[in-house]
Amino acid sequence: MQRQRGLLTLSGNSAFAMSDFPVHEIHMAQPDLAVSAIRAVLQSVKTGNKVKLIHNEQ
């Protein structure tokens, strides 16, 4: 897990999201997480602000 978090240092504008399921197909196991992350990146590009992940608790 520390190695993955270490990837945050490669960019000045990054965020870390962790799936509830230990699989590589996050988009299939937790599509809401993948969509939320993509939306956060798009919002960052549009506004010029830092990526901010919003965690939806449903």
Residue 19 · residue 30 · CB < 8 Å? yes
Domain ranges, ordered by start, for the chain:
2-47
What's the CA gap between 6 and 23, in Å, rounded?
20
Question: 19-23, 43-47, 48-52: lowest mean pLDDT where?
Answer: 19-23
User: Tell me: the pLDDT tens digits for 5-33?
Assistant: 888 888 889 888 888 888 889 899 999 98
Q: Which two tokens stand for residue 37?
A: 């992350």
| Predicted structure pTM score | 0.75
pLDDT at 18: 82
Which region, left, alpha or beta, applies to residue 48 given φ > 0 means left and ψ of -120 to 50 means alpha? left
